[in-house]
Amino acid sequence: MLDKVWFTYKARIQAQQRLEWMDSHSQFLLVWYAILGAVLAVVAIRYPTLFGKDTDILGAVLSIALLGVSLSIANRDFRGRAMNMRKNYLALQHLYNEISSRGEVKEDIIRYNELLNEVENHNEMDDKKFRVRNSSQLKSRNPEWVEYVQVYSFLVVKYIVLIFSYLAPIIVAGCLL
């Protein structure tokens, strides 16, 4: 039981960090795209055919897409979910400390199950990331080589997508000019 609580606690920390990362980058990307949309609108006043005869249409499409994405991101509520995840992993840490100091009692299993149901579950990658990053400190559930590959592949793809998300408008503008 102690092992279960500890691994869940650590995976929930990873989930909270993932949600905070997603919140901050989604906000930065929204601001970045909004600035570029505003710049396009202002520049299109002076140069209405900057990106060809459909510059006005491209600006309108960008504005509509930005509205849709901003509504979608707001509905995902990364910040609120991260705060709930943090509250939950702190409660799990408290439960872990109690079990460590006095030993496991029946109520601990009930409390653990209640804590599991309080928030969304962390995803499998949160657990794998924790175990891969801290493999030298683990006494059980050591990651297998395939999990190392999965975690590092996931991280590479994540950062490639992030970089592309920031650079996409510049790449598209460069292709249109």
User: Residues in the chain with pLDDT < 50?
Assistant: none
Domain count, the chain: 1
Q: Report the pLDDT value the prediction gives residue 21, as an integer from 0 to 100.
A: 97
Q: Are the beta carbons of 115 and 91 closer than 8 angstroms? A: yes
Q: Which residues, in sequence order, are CB contacts of 126 under 8 Å at separation 6+? A: 11, 12, 14, 15, 18
**Domain residue limits at 14:** 2-176
**Residue for token digits 């202002």?**
42
Q: Report the pLDDT value the prediction gives residue 51, as an integer from 0 to 100.
A: 85
Q: Report the pLDDT value the prediction gives residue 35, as an integer from 0 to 100.
A: 92
Q: Report the pLDDT value the prediction gives residue 172, as an integer from 0 to 100.
A: 85
Among residues 130, 20, 134, the alpha carbon closest in space to that of 85 is found at: 20
- The predicted-structure confidence for 82-92, as pLDDT tens digits, reads as follows 999 999 999 99
Q: Report the pLDDT value the prediction gives residue 176, as an integer from 0 to 100.
A: 77
Q: Round to whole Å and give the CA distance between 16 and 121.
A: 11
Q: Report the pLDDT value the prediction gives residue 104, as an integer from 0 to 100.
A: 86
3-class SS of residue 47: coil
Q: Are the beta carbons of 121 and 88 closer than 8 angstroms? A: no
Q: Report the pLDDT value the prediction gives residue 58, as an integer from 0 to 100.
A: 85
Q: Report the pLDDT value the prediction gives residue 123, as an integer from 0 to 100.
A: 95
Q: Report the pLDDT value the prediction gives residue 144, as an integer from 0 to 100.
A: 95
